[in-house]
Structure 1
């Protein structure tokens, strides 16, 4: 079968309404599980593989909790090189670079540095925002369907919006300049005075009294919730829909014929496939390389801390503190803070100075949380970050039925369900809900 085979399969799907593709999705984090859901919804036979013992045990496990369309700007920007230099040598620096004898790291860093321009950052904001808005719509659809089937996917969701707070007037002014652009793209935001920030979130009172709030930007339609809970419960839901979820299955290679992958090998099994989706977070880099595809994705290590949040002491509105470089979300009776970024390879060791820096920032912002600091639970994980701050979604490489859904970085929760729906449209040949051209891998090779 030649390159036209996948087109033939798509035509059959559209024409017959009953033709079933065998699709293997590798990775059971938020990206892989939502992808499996969307493909199963379209009536296909889906096998979901993960090397871990369950769903949502890697990057999705303890992230900052924000589903923030207002927070989709790439990390790379004109201020980043100066900040990196200023923070050199600090064990608790918000951003740390640990150079390795790793060509992939150096190539990624060179690509990343070329994106540290205001124009390059602006180029990715609107595509990311469109994907975030699609994610919001798909999560609403998932909620409606699972509730109608008496199996709601509960995940400590909050719809109080996200409030960005700024310590300095110049940073507040710079951020406010983007509000009109976002509004034209479909996202409403409100500028708030320091006093209005406290009115919205009374837990910010101590910071206000210390003069640490110059103003804020509130996006009322943004949300927050526990990504790991959502992933685990949606994984259970897709199994009820007929998806075969096989945990503890590490992919060791691919069976191929011509320009197609015909099977996915693990140590114990060979899974036949009409299409393959690689959605394994940082593990996608290795898997794609097995299929002859190099992708500009590299791990960026981050930390989070989870504290008890009983009563009214902890904040209820999800927050981004632009000065402290942390995000904070109330997850039921827990408070989750996430922060720091380290480009240092695939090391997942939890370094207490860096972990405690996230806790210290939390207590500094909310002194009232110091009483429960002794109960802190620390976590670290690797974000699969593309060099330009947007995910890589779509077909890649010489195999016409190989697809990528990776590179979301810190935006996996914000962009995940939309990425899954858009990719499922592309695989199945159905009417696209979103143009995937801005997310294709070819963008990295255009001059």
Structure 2
């Protein structure tokens, strides 16, 4: 089949790779000049099966009210005269129940574990070809730290459920946290860590580097990667899409995959689909590593609402969420709040604070915290791979593999029913 994949972030590139590996003629389109230059560019780096619970939960409405009016709040609403935003917010708020959050954990976890398996397979294949994909991968695990014992106890309640699904995690005392990660000694001395949860099998790495290297590998496999290609519409024939139009070209297609991050919503609308996906703006800060006392384990600080990952000679911190539409301007107050949180937990990084590089990106977040994967709408050959939110790096390769199975009609590695768009028709 001739398959057109729209979007060259982590989701689109892994989708193109999986379809090419199954023998299809794949064209990958992106409006930018290369792969992984939007949401995949400077995220928090975690490939964390332990972090798959949706953001929507019973505590969220109270937190939003508490943070109302704070320009540097970890979660901020900037309401607009935009029906798309209001509809998404209503759907999101309806999911702020413990039962609704629990409903999505195990499907997301299965997808995260498949992602790790697929990344291992991709790495092994690249290694066998003598062209390893290097992306500053770190396999030292992820440590979630908690300031209050009550928060640790609440988070630990889900460990057995996740263990039964194949993910091992350990509860750690404050002393065990610093034994695992000596760079936390300052936070321990200040009494800011009551304990933690450690997942040894989780990982971190540079999503942009991986995406760019995998795009190169996909091209060697025959994928035609067309940059500077902004999709303007679709050619249709009956209940099928026969081609994808850009400003300059028409690409014939037997199947089309929309995997363009936040742009997928607008593209889907061209095909008559309205998606429950909206941008959540996040910030990251990248610092050079010039000290020996830097974390070797990826850290999630639940009190500060940040994640920290060592990426080779850089330290990356990501945090904040803002429902503000499609604005990608950097507000320095919010950007510096992420830097301040980094320096608070790792004061040894103060010596390189002036070299901080700030970035912001838009996460394509579905209202229930799980991606939308599969065929959708009246066009039988139109497929979606979107809505991953902050979990694109964690769920990307698994999403692509599962979608590849569906398109090709091969034995499924994962049941995609929980990720079908139809789930929103009655929730």
What range describes the TM-score normalised by the shorter chain of this pair?
A: over 0.9
Residue matched to 2:141: 161
Match of 2:89 in 1: 109
Task: Spell out the pairing of 1:280-359 with structure 2 (5 A cutoff).
Answer: 280-359=260-339
Offset at residue 166 of structure 1 (A):
0.1
| 1:172 aligned partner | 152
- The residue correspondences of 1:22-171 to structure 2 (distance < 5 A) are 22-171=2-151
Q: Alignment RMSD, CA only?
A: 0.5
Correspondence for 1:223: 203
Question: Secondary structure of the residue that 1:372 maps to in structure 2?
Answer: helix
Residue 311 of structure 1 deviates from its aligned partner by 4.0
Distance 1:167 1:333 in 2: 28
Q: Distance in 2 between matches of 1:263 and 1:152?
A: 35
- Partners in 2 of 1:294 and 1:312 — Cα distance? 50
Secondary structure in structure 1 of the residue aligned to 2:325: coil
Q: Deviations over 1:377-399 (max 9, x none)?
A: 00000000000000000000000
Figure out how many residues of one structure are paired with residues of the other and give that number: 427
- CA distance in 2 between counterparts of 1:56 and 1:248 reads 13
- CA offset at residue 309 of structure 1? 1.2
Q: Does 1:189 find its partner at 2:180? A: no
- Whole-angstrom CA distance in 2 between matches of 1:312 and 1:24: 46
Q: Determine the structure 1 residue equivalent to 2:391.
A: 411
Matches within 5 A, 1:240-319: 240-319=220-299
Counterpart-to-counterpart distance in 2, 1:287 and 1:176: 40
State the match for 1:437 in structure 2. 417
Residue 373 (structure 1) aligned with residue 353 (structure 2):
yes
Residues 112-156 of structure 1 show CA distances to partners (whole Å, capped at 9, x for unaligned) of 000000000000000000000000000000000000001111000
Q: Does 1:238 align with 2:184?
A: no
User: 1:312 Cα deviation (Å)?
Assistant: 1.6
**Cα pair 2:3 2:27 within 8 Å, conserved:** yes
| 2:41 counterpart SS class | coil
Q: Is 1:427 aligned to residue 400 of structure 2?
A: no
Deviations 1:20-69 (A, max 9, x none): x0000000000000000000000000000000111000000000000000
Q: CA deviation at 1:167?
A: 0.1
Judge conservation of contact 2:182–2:293 (CA < 8 Å) in 1. Answer: no
Q: Is the 8 A contact 2:373 2:420 kept in 1?
A: yes
- Whole-angstrom distance in 2 between the partners of 1:134 and 1:309: 32
Which of 328, 344, 348 lines up with 1:364 in the alignment?
344
2:291–2:348 CA contact under 8 A, matched in 1: no
- Distance in 1, Cα, partners of 2:420 & 2:319: 28
Can you give the 5+ residue segments of structure 2 that lack an aligned partner in the other structure? none
- What does the per-residue CA deviation read over 1:157-199, in whole Å, with 9 as the maximum and x for residues that have no partner? 0000000000001000001111111100000001100000000
Partner secondary structure for residue 163 of structure 1? strand
Structure 2 residue aligned with 1:9: none
SS in 2 for 1:403: strand
Of the candidates 362, 373, 390, which is equivalent to residue 382 of structure 1?
362
Structure 1 ranges of 4+ moved more than 4 A: none
SS of 1:328 mapped into structure 2 = strand
1:314: Cα distance to partner?
A: 1.4
The aligned counterpart of 1:10 is none
1-structure distance, mates of 2:249, 2:288:
43
